[in-house]
Amino acid sequence: MERNRWETAIRCLEIAVHPATDDREVLAAINGFRRTAQNAPLRQLCREFAGSSPSSASAVTDELQRLARETLALRQKLEEAEASRKAVLQRLRDAEQRGDEIGEELLAAEQRADDAERRLAEFRGAYGRISGNLGHENDDLRRALADARRNLTQPIHEPVAPFQAALNAALQRPDQPPAGQPTALTSHPWTA
């Protein structure tokens, strides 16, 4: 019931201060407020209307302090979450950078592998050409060897005299007589 009384008193004040209220109505609203509030101070009316007595003021203060602590705890959690988010973002950036570096290294390795494959193909081609040429040379050498073996089995019909002259010239010393003149040591000409 007390609550209704205070609401009525507040309503009277609202009418009194409304810009559309004329002077007679303002005086009537103020008198209605005085009768309803029973000469209680406006501060008491507001406090009781709001439901705050000195004991409830303490409860409100306690509630405000509790809310301030919760707000502080939430702010700390928010700061920790933000720091964690920044750390994860930095790790992600580092991973992206490392991925780019690895990509560049992989591209360079692929180029080196392509170069190695190209060189290997060139080597195989050169090896094939050399092997083919060696096969022809081996065939030529085999034929030459067979010809030489056949020639060795046949008697030599060439005179040995030209060789004798070259041998004598090579063996001649400056203090010896020229080749072709017999010396005391050689009584017979050399024959093969």
**What phi and psi values does residue 168 have, to the nearest 5 degrees?**
-65, -40
In terms of domains, do 75 and 36 share one?
no
Q: What does the alpha-carbon distance between residue 164 and residue 82 come to, in Å, rounded to a whole number?
A: 109
Assigned domain for 171 exists: no
Answer yes or no: is 170 within a domain.
Answer: no
* pTM of the predicted model as reported, rounded to 2 decimal places: 0.34
pLDDT of residue 187: 54
Q: Do both 38 and 80 map to the same domain?
A: no
**Residues 62 and 47 grouped into a single domain:** no
The answer to the question of residue 141 being in a domain is: yes
Claim to verify: residue 64 and residue 94 sit in the same structural domain: yes
Residue 34 has a pLDDT of: 86
Q: Long-range contact list for 71-78, CB < 8 A, 24+ apart?
A: none
Pairwise CA distance, residues 49 & 47, whole Å: 5
pLDDT at 166: 75
Q: Which domain holds residue 60?
A: 54-148
Residue 156 phi/psi, 5° resolution? -85, 130
**Residues 91 and 135 grouped into a single domain:** yes
Q: What pLDDT, on a 0 to 100 scale, did the predictor assign at position 172?
A: 79
Per-residue pLDDT of the chain (192 residues; tens, 9 = 90+): 466 777 888 888 888 888 888 889 888 988 888 888 887 787 777 777 666 555 556 777 888 898 899 999 999 999 999 999 999 999 999 999 999 999 999 999 999 999 999 999 999 888 888 877 777 787 888 888 888 877 777 666 655 566 777 777 777 766 666 555 555 555 556 665
- If one counts the domains in the chain, the total is 2
Element (H, E) at 150: helix 54-153
